[in-house]
Structure 1
């Protein structure tokens, strides 16, 4: 029996049935498993790939099965999903091998169910039936494995560009890490990666970032415990990168900080900063403090609700990071859980919370200071609309477009065409290793 496929099925069950977070569960399981790096990379591909294609896979299973998916045994459903992913979306796996391994795994627990799995997968392999579509949106939903209501959102927002964006959101390209320059130089860390058979390419905006083409357990990478690197997509690093350019030293408040990557970025720069990272719970603060300790950084942490005013912080900050909680549509390729959990109602509720956070956070900024408002979503209601509404009520603030224009020019010079500037605000479309992201720079006059 294939232990890699068995573990992938167990993880898939835990994530889909119990609502466990895929990234944390996968990393923990791979760290504890006594498997080769090749097997760990295969498990990562199976779990993330199946979750990314889950909507489409389930449509296929529903077309062929007389048994409702909700009535199937957990292991049976997970192995069916994994097998269909391998058969339909993973070219390097022979389809009959995927069928055979799924049947073997299921037979060990339930011989009767093994016959059902075998018959169903062989029917799918022979393509005996076709999935029926109600229209173009439904077809796109199946092709790009996303709920129709979210497909309609992308069609409305991006028009003809929507299919290419949805394609780039299927699965993220590799893994992006930020090298901790206080511990090791990027060329030296690249050499360490090569020693263990891992290749990396430098970032688009900074050599401090490296894109790894192969994934596995993070804690197996060289120097994890020594704090040589952090996982951070380069798009997510744009807010602290911009703030460092505009505010080279002073008091910085990171008001929605967990897991602390943006504060850590600033603490790793040569700037003379006094950084306080806030979040709602002690549990989140504990996680941040653990990361800061591993990286050898000094960052103050403090519990705080970003929607509630704290008088002692009034006009105290030279720079503020507001990476607000969002719908995460720019991370669909990296966090496939969002595909199944987010909807229009959730997006509307988040936009209201974000507006409150922006209004409240702006009260902590000194005159002449800069505030970076950012999200990892591709939703105008959470992005441009929130910023415009805020500016209409706060004439003492103004957009700073120049830093964003320089970023877009730099991207264009390197062949990137997925940075969109509009009305002085920046949208990063997914692709070329970058997550979807939004950034606006506000200065208090």
Structure 2
């Protein structure tokens, strides 16, 4: 396929996402299934166009004065990918599979580089209703942080010390351009490719199959580290999901002690078993909510880790369609879920034990406000500074920009080059 046909396909997928309210991955998958002639390279470019259009939907819509799929796809190719108007015009005119040629009005809007008329939330590519919350989280850095959340995410890996080390992983992945991450001592990063660029399929690598590394964003690695799981501990990963942080906790424990993996949604737990085997993690007991109870763990855990259900605002780089589907009602539901999880999970912490609360959100209501609520409602717990833990255990890493007076940490793409992630630590009175 030529770029004209790829633009037409991107417009088709964006229309499907908009009119049928479908997740973008599902729409792309179904388009590929219905168009078998499109090769893997074509599908990569079409996916890049669709994802970049959604990442920058607010700013591109404002510049084009048109938020329809055609305007978004053309602006992505011309502006975001910096192809320029003439290259776009030639593509549209020379490929009979391409969308119709540019109108004079479209040419004028694509030529206008003046952004003075754009509102702050448009410049930041943040939904307007969320803008006050972004300002509460980031203050004067709100536009910068929104723009960073509208970029492509790198592929981050965590070297698995149960089977390998970072130097070994870097050597094996040298052909991908892999580099060490700047904050996590176990992290490996493959930077995002611009425009038509295709990312390597790291799960096809021999090192992945052997369990030398796992896919895990650097922020998630750091959250697991700050929880400070130690060899010999009794640890509960209360919202384990697919097991990414479970594996990081197991590695920190050096397979010594006992780690329980639990999630109220058993379908989310399904991938964990294959991952545990590949990683060589032998101290993990998976508790299926349909067939087992956690009653025997009440008051017994040295550490309970909560990766709480949230709006996912911190991972917009990876799931850009989700930011335009998010509603105030969904945020209210997540806040209720988080309080329910915090209250339930805290009962498993033994006297003197710790509770770690993390979200992949940047919204204060899901982060600092929930930590406040927990401390007000659970007098047996007191705050532990995640900022001090960072300083003591990650001396080589620059301190995060966003640390609350209590010591809670907020990571972000613009400040730390990671997904948006929040971590707060608590200790039960001994």
TM-score under structure 2 normalisation?
0.82
| 1:440 is aligned to 2:424 | yes
**1:333-372 equivalence runs, <5 A:** 333-372=317-356
Determine if contact 1:328/1:377 at 8 Å carries over to the other structure.
yes
Give SS of 1:249's match: coil
- Taking the aligned partners of 1:15 and 1:297, their CA distance within structure 2 comes to 40
- Name the CA distance, whole Å, in 2 between partners of 1:57 and 1:44: 17
Could you tell me the TM-score, scaled by structure 1's length?
A: 0.80
> CA separation of 1:27/1:350 partners in 2, compared to 1, >3 Å: closer, same or farther?
same
Paired residue secondary structure (2:299):
coil
Change (3 A) 1:291 1:35: same
Structure 2 residue aligned with 1:82:
73
SS in 1 for 2:364: coil
Name the structure 2 match of 1:238.
222
Shift of 1:301: 2.4
Partners of 1:26 and 1:433 in 2: CA distance: 28
Select 2:413's aligned residue among 430, 437, 444: 430
Matches within 5 A, 1:33-432: 34-35=39-40, 42-43=45-46, 45-60=48-63, 63=65, 69=68, 77=69, 80-91=71-82, 93-101=83-91, 108=97, 114-115=99-100, 118-120=101-103, 123-127=105-109, 139-194=119-174, 196=175, 198-214=176-192, 215-221=199-205, 223-243=207-227, 245=228, 247-269=230-252, 270-298=254-282, 299-304=284-289, 310-401=294-385, 403-408=386-391, 414-415=397-398, 417-431=400-414, 432=416
Shift of 1:287: 2.1
Contact preservation (8 Å) 1:418, 1:430: no
Deviation at 1:216, TM superposition (A): 4.1
In 1, are the aligned partners of 2:239 and 2:307 still within 8 Å (CA)?
A: yes
Distance 1:167 1:358 in 2: 32
Cα pair distance change 1:29/1:340, threshold 3 Å: same
Alpha carbons of 1:29 and 1:287: their partners in 2 closer, same or farther (altered >3 Å)? farther
Question: Secondary structure of the equivalent of 1:142?
Answer: helix
Q: Number of matched residues? A: 413
Q: Give the drift of 1:27.
A: 9.4
Q: Report the secondary structure of 1:326's partner residue.
A: coil
Shift of 1:252: 1.5
Call closer, same or farther: CA 1:24–1:230 in 2, change over 3 Å.
Answer: farther
Q: 1:40 to 1:229 in 2, by over 3 A?
A: farther
- In 1, the alpha carbon distance for the partners of 2:19 and 2:183 equals 40
Does structure 2 conserve the Cα–Cα contact (< 8 Å) formed by 1:80 and 1:102?
no
Q: Can you give the 5+ residue segments of structure 2 that lack an aligned partner in the other structure?
A: 193-198
What is aligned with 2:196?
Answer: none
Please say if residues 83 and 102 of structure 1, whose CA atoms lie closer than 8 Å, have aligned partners that are also in contact.
no
Query: RMSD of the TM alignment (CA)?
Result: 3.6
Q: How far off is 1:283 after superposition? A: 2.1
